[in-house]
Amino acid sequence: MNKTIDSLQWRYAAKRMNGQKVPADKLDNILEAIRLTATSNGLQPFTILVIEDKATREKLHAAAFKQPQVVEGSHLLVFAAWKKVTPEQIDTYFEMVYQERNLAKGSLDQYAGFLKNHFGKQTEEEQFSWASKQAYIALGTALVAAAEEKVDSTPMEGFNAEEVDSILGLNEQGMGSTALLALGYRDETADHMVNAKKVRRPKDKLFVKI
């Protein structure tokens, strides 16, 4: 059996959480899985804000239509994607590649130039959309990694992005919030969805074999 399937069978989007704290080692494993996630060209065009501070989560709670998990979980991850993909960011990435792989500086100039040209032709909206999609790959990983730690996770798109960005000062850093992920433990008494059957489109509808 594939462990990923087990993990996804176990998980569900908890509607209520009980306030129990996710231990540091489990949180670290979830974050490390996010860090190792593949992204297009390896650029990882996002920052993940890991928010335990209650006062900050209370402000975000209001900006996320008062979804209880924001404050009933113990940590809230905010996936903040780059609004623009700049030549400077691409240079920073290649500096890291040269150092980590012990390559001569400039040896990947052609590749870097290709990326600068590629993103240079895109609108800001296209760049943010691309960066957001990369963050969603990491979101997919986080859901699996959390379930494996038997940590509940609730992904959320229902929030006022402008308010979240303003609370966290993301605009000033050239980023925008694209998804939230509450981490914590399900409240089995209060959550009416705790025993709901998982509903997914059947294989013959979701997949087309050619």
x/- map, 29-68, a copy of itself, by CB under 8 A:
xxxxxxxxxx-x-x-x--xxxxxxx--x------------
As a whole number of angstroms, the distance between CA 4 and CA 97 comes to 30
CB of 106 to a copy of itself, least distance (A): 17
Please say whether the beta carbons of 90 and 115 come within 8 A: yes
CB of 6 to a copy of itself, least distance (A): 10
Please say whether the beta carbons of 92 and 192 come within 8 A: no
As a whole number of angstroms, the distance between CA 197 and CA 168 comes to 36
CB of 97 to a copy of itself, least distance (A): 5
As a whole number of angstroms, the distance between CA 74 and CA 178 comes to 20
CB of 156 to a copy of itself, least distance (A): 9
x/- map, 96-125, a copy of itself, by CB under 8 A:
xx--xx------------------------
Please say whether the beta carbons of 177 and 170 come within 8 A: yes
Considering only residues 123 to 152 of the shown chain, the ones binding a copy of itself according to CB under 8 A are: 129, 132-134, 136-141, 143-145, 148-149
Ramachandran angles phi, psi of 111, nearest 5°: -65, -45
Q: Which is nearer to a copy of itself, 3 or 105 (CB)?
A: 3
Number of neighbours of residue 169 by Cβ within 10 angstroms: 9
CB of 153 to a copy of itself, least distance (A): 9
Q: Is 194 in the site for a copy of itself (CB under 8 A)?
A: no
As a whole number of angstroms, the distance between CA 176 and CA 61 comes to 17
As a whole number of angstroms, the distance between CA 13 and CA 15 comes to 6
As a whole number of angstroms, the distance between CA 166 and CA 172 comes to 9
Q: How many residues bind a copy of itself (CB under 8 A)?
A: 66
Considering only residues 155 to 174 of the shown chain, the ones binding a copy of itself according to CB under 8 A are: 155, 157, 168
Q: Pairing state of beta strands 46-51 and 152-156? A: unpaired
Q: Which is nearer to a copy of itself, 18 or 89 (CB)?
A: 89
Contact positions toward a copy of itself, by CB under 8 A? 2-5, 7-9, 11, 13, 29-38, 40, 42, 44, 47-53, 56, 96-97, 100-101, 129, 132-134, 136-141, 143-145, 148-149, 155, 157, 168, 178, 196-201, 203, 205-210
